[in-house]
């Protein structure tokens, strides 16, 4: 057989794989189905899943190859025109927990806020700007690990400089290494702030040695990494750190075009009563103005209000400026790119196209090899319960997912989490659920009217809850309804056929003697000749001396009218074994 090599870059659609294998899509979908995966033609399969399926198909001549997609550098760093202007650097402060990130940002903020305009910062902000030497520096707050991961996942490599905070009395720790790796993969410049130098156990030299063992060579030792010893708490040497940030920015010649449509990144979003969606954006190119139309992922809107990071209204935002805007129809996701478009019609169209693209792409997350293996372990006749989980915060989504996975499905039901997400239920969720027999569960989120209409039209069930147990109970109930009912049969009696008066296609009239138990209308009967089973019939009526009676008991003779689904050629001497059959709904 001819050898064949199929290259997979990340994932491959069912359609593409079928074509590459020379199979029909139906055939491939059939094989997936046998393995418990309900796939559509556009569904994306990851490398491992594709190889398992090829094994299943017994295609020994096919070799799969992982095609390396080059690490995505910034989508956001576009080619600049010669009209590009200098912009402030975007800086992320990262490092191991307790090494002083928060303290550093607080001290910088207090210092500069006190020096500059008065007014404390009360609300949580995800980005802010400081002025040093009359020049702006944009700081991104990357508070938790989640945000960190999300930035990476979205390829949102908008950070120019990563300040890695390392405590001089603690040295390089796991999250320090993670920060180093992040900075490198993001192609960002690294500046190390060796913190807590006021502490007794602080050892700058040892910390530098530790860092150089992790690939960061200090400038002082002939390397290329600027390391600034500081005390965030005592406000020591912070000006030097800011100097170094600006110097790095100068060397990097950070620029952006401003005469292009505005673009940038969503860095935070939430709903506020009375305001609707409140979204923090970081502009990376162009100038965003109040009144303009923007698209981000599957949502769009018109910039209704725009505030700077201190909450002061402003009319426009230039590159590297973080702003808070209202006006998005729905909440965009953290890490989504936004772009200005010319009018509402274009905005709506682009959002819709994005929603479709997202639906296709996110399908890939469903069919991973671990899902496949899990599904293969379930009995062949297993049923799949598809769900989409939306929650108000990541934590609630995680706990709903974890709790759902804990429901014991007795190996008969496979829970398939089609997608999860933070925020209200949106068009995209309904798209994904439509046609896929999928229930959308929302926890502490709402369903906009247009979305519930769309869901009703597409027959997509949406259920929202405020109490997690109620959600779980409902999911359990849904899964129970997928279980095959339990069939309970009970023997009732037996009759020997002594006469056959009529046999038609679906009815028989016969007479006989009840040998044991009784014969009643409604009973089912197995027709037995010797050892042979001839078929099943239902007792329609029972007669004794040509009069309808409720029953015939053991020892009595009488007549029966039987209903059958196909013709049974009943003969004298056959036995009718009476029984009842009940189906009982099962529970988990």
Among 31, 102, 129, 369, binds ligand GDP (CB under 6 A): 102
Among 231, 298, 324, 414, binds ligand GDP (CB under 6 A): 231
Give min distance, CB of 118 to ligand GDP, in A.
Answer: 24
Among 198, 203, 239, 513, binds ligand GDP (CB under 6 A): 198
* Binding footprint of ligand GDP, residue count (CB under 6 A): 15
Element (H, E) at 529: strand 524-529
**Alpha-carbon span 121 to 90, nearest angstrom:** 20
Give min distance, CB of 205 to ligand GDP, in A.
Answer: 18
Give min distance, CB of 168 to ligand GDP, in A.
Answer: 9
Give min distance, CB of 233 to ligand GDP, in A.
Answer: 3
Element (H, E) at 451: helix 449-458
**Alpha-carbon span 386 to 587, nearest angstrom:** 19
237 is a contact residue toward ligand GDP (CB under 6 A): no
390 is a contact residue toward ligand GDP (CB under 6 A): no
Piece of 59-67, 100-108, 306-314, 459-467 that binds ligand GDP (CB under 6 A): 100-108
140 is a contact residue toward ligand GDP (CB under 6 A): no
Give min distance, CB of 242 to ligand GDP, in A.
Answer: 16
The DSSP 8-state label assigned to residue 332 in this structure reads P
Nearer to ligand GDP, 95 or 285 (CB): 95
Nearer to ligand GDP, 200 or 504 (CB): 200
SS3 152: helix
Would strands 288-289 and 293-296 be described as parallel, antiparallel, or unpaired?
Answer: unpaired
Give min distance, CB of 238 to ligand GDP, in A.
Answer: 10
Piece of 92-100, 240-248, 307-315, 330-338 that binds ligand GDP (CB under 6 A): 92-100
The pair phi, psi for residue 237, each rounded to 5°, is 70, 15
The DSSP 8-state label assigned to residue 225 in this structure reads B
Of the candidates 102, 104, 106, 123, the one whose C-alpha atom is nearest the C-alpha of residue 114 is 106
Diameter of the chain by CA atoms?
115
Contact 152, 158 (CB under 8 A): no
- CA–chain centroid gap for 187, Å, is 27
Nearer to ligand GDP, 97 or 353 (CB): 97
Give min distance, CB of 98 to ligand GDP, in A.
Answer: 4
The DSSP 8-state label assigned to residue 68 in this structure reads P
Nearer to ligand GDP, 101 or 329 (CB): 101
Give min distance, CB of 107 to ligand GDP, in A.
Answer: 8
233 is a contact residue toward ligand GDP (CB under 6 A): yes
Among 44, 101, 337, 520, binds ligand GDP (CB under 6 A): 101
Give min distance, CB of 108 to ligand GDP, in A.
Answer: 12
97 is a contact residue toward ligand GDP (CB under 6 A): yes
Give min distance, CB of 235 to ligand GDP, in A.
Answer: 9
Contact 482, 413 (CB under 8 A): yes
Contact 272, 219 (CB under 8 A): no
Piece of 76-84, 193-201, 297-305, 535-543 that binds ligand GDP (CB under 6 A): 193-201
Element (H, E) at 497: strand 486-503
Interactions with ligand GDP, residue window 13-72 (CB under 6 A) = none
DSSP states of 370-413: HHHHHHHTS-TT-EEEEEEEEESSHHHHHHHHHHHHHS--TTTE
Q: Residue 183 half-sphere exposure, CB side, CA atoms within 13 Å?
A: 26
Torsion angle (degrees, nearest 10) of CA 16, 18, 21, 23: -150
Piece of 97-105, 310-318, 429-437, 573-581 that binds ligand GDP (CB under 6 A): 97-105
Nearer to ligand GDP, 95 or 436 (CB): 95
Nearer to ligand GDP, 45 or 232 (CB): 232
Give min distance, CB of 241 to ligand GDP, in A.
Answer: 12
Nearer to ligand GDP, 198 or 239 (CB): 198
98 is a contact residue toward ligand GDP (CB under 6 A): yes
Q: Residue 95 half-sphere exposure, CB side, CA atoms within 13 Å?
A: 26
Of the candidates 320, 313, 301, the one whose C-alpha atom is nearest the C-alpha of residue 255 is 320
**Alpha-carbon span 53 to 312, nearest angstrom:** 57
Piece of 34-42, 43-51, 226-234, 272-280 that binds ligand GDP (CB under 6 A): 226-234
100 is a contact residue toward ligand GDP (CB under 6 A): yes
Torsion angle (degrees, nearest 10) of CA 135, 282, 175, 123: 90
Among 13, 49, 51, 103, binds ligand GDP (CB under 6 A): 103
Among 44, 87, 99, 492, binds ligand GDP (CB under 6 A): 99
Give the CA angle between residues 67, 69, 70 to the nearest 5°.
140
Contact 235, 111 (CB under 8 A): yes
**Alpha-carbon span 189 to 161, nearest angstrom:** 5
Among 53, 232, 244, 378, binds ligand GDP (CB under 6 A): 232
Structure tokens that stand for 410 in this block: 């007795």
Give the CA angle between residues 332, 336, 340 to the nearest 5°.
85
Give min distance, CB of 198 to ligand GDP, in A.
Answer: 5
Give min distance, CB of 169 to ligand GDP, in A.
Answer: 9
239 is a contact residue toward ligand GDP (CB under 6 A): no
Cα distances from 417 to residues 207, 387, 430, 519, in angstroms, run: 45, 5, 14, 51
Would strands 438-443 and 383-391 be described as parallel, antiparallel, or unpaired?
Answer: parallel
Expressed in angstroms, the distance from the first to the final Cα of the chain is 49
196 is a contact residue toward ligand GDP (CB under 6 A): yes
Binding flags for ligand GDP, 153-192, as an x/- string (CB under 6 A)? ----------------------------------------
Piece of 132-140, 204-212, 225-233, 262-270 that binds ligand GDP (CB under 6 A): 225-233
Nearer to ligand GDP, 100 or 301 (CB): 100
Q: Give residues in contact with ligand GDP (CB under 6 A).
A: 95, 97-103, 195-196, 198-199, 231-233
């Amino acid at each position: 057989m001819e050898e064949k090599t199929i290259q997979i870059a990340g994932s491959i659609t069912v359609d593409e794989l079928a074509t590459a294998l020379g199979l029909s899509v139906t055939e491939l979908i059939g094989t997936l189905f046998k393995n418990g995966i309900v796939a559509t033609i556009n569904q994306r399969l990851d490398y491992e899943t594709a190889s398992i399926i090829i094994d299943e198909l017994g295609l020994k001549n096919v070799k799969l190859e992982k095609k390396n997609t080059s690490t995505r550098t910034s989508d956001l760093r576009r080619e600049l025109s010669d009209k590009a202007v200098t912009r402030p650097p975007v800086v992320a402060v990262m490092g191991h927990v307790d090494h002083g990130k928060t303290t550093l940002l607080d001290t910088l903020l207090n210092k500069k806020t006190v020096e500059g305009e008065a007014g404390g910062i009360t609300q949580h902000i995800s980005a802010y700007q400081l002025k040093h030497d009359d020049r702006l520096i944009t700081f991104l707050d990357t508070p938790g690990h989640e945000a960190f991961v999300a930035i990476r996942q979205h390829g949102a490599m908008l950070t120019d400089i990563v300040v890695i905070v390392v405590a001089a009395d603690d040295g390089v720790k796991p999250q320090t290494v993670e920060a180093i790796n992040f900075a490198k993969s993001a192609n960002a410049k690294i500046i190390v702030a060796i913190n807590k130098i006021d502490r007794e156990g602080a050892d700058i030299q040892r910390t530098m040695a530790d860092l150089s063992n992790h690939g960061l060579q200090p400038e002082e030792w002939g390397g290329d990494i600027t390391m600034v010893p500081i005390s965030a708490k005592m406000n020591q040497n912070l000006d030097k750190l800011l100097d170094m940030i600006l110097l790095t920015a100068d060397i990097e010649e950070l620029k952006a075009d401003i005469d292009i449509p505005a673009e940038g990144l969503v860095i935070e979003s939430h709903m506020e009563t009375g305001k609707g969606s409140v979204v923090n954006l970081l502009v990376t190119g162009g100038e965003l103005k109040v009144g303009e139309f923007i698209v981000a992922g599957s949502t769009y809107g018109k910039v209704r209000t725009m505030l700077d990071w201190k909450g002061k209204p402003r009319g426009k935002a230039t590159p590297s400026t973080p702003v808070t805007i209202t006006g998005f129809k729905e909440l965009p996701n953290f890490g989504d790119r936004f772009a200005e478009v010319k009018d509402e019609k274009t905005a709506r169209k682009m959002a819709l196209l994005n929603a479709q693209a997202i639906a296709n792409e996110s399908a890939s997350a469903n069919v991973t090899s671990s899902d496949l293996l899990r599904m293969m372990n379930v009995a062949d006749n297993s049923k799949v319960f598809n769900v989409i989980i939306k929650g108000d915060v990541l934590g609630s989504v995680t706990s709903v997912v974890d709790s759902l996975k804990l429901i014991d499905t007795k190996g008969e039901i496979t829970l398939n989490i089609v997608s999860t997400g933070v925020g209200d239920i949106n068009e995209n969720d309904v798209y994904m659920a439509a046609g896929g027999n999928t229930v959308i569960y929302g926890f502490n989120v709402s369903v906009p009217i247009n979305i519930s209409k769309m869901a009703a039209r597409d027959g997509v069930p949406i259920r929202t809850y405020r109490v997690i147990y109620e959600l779980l109970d409902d999911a359990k109930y849904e899964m129970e309804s997928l279980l095959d009912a339990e069939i309970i049969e009970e023997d009732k009696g037996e009759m020997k056929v002594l006469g056959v008066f009529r046999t038609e296609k679906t009815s028989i009239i016969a007479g006989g003697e009840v040998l044991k138990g009784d014969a009643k209308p409604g009973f089912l009967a197995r027709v037995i000749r010797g050892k042979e089973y001839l078929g099943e019939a239902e007792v329609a009526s029972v007669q004794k001396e040509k009069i309808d009676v409720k029953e015939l008991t053991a020892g009595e003779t009488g007549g029966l009218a039987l209903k059958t689904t196909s013709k049974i050629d009943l003969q004298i001497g056959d036995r009718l074994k009476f029984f009842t059959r009940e189906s009982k709904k099962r529970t988990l």
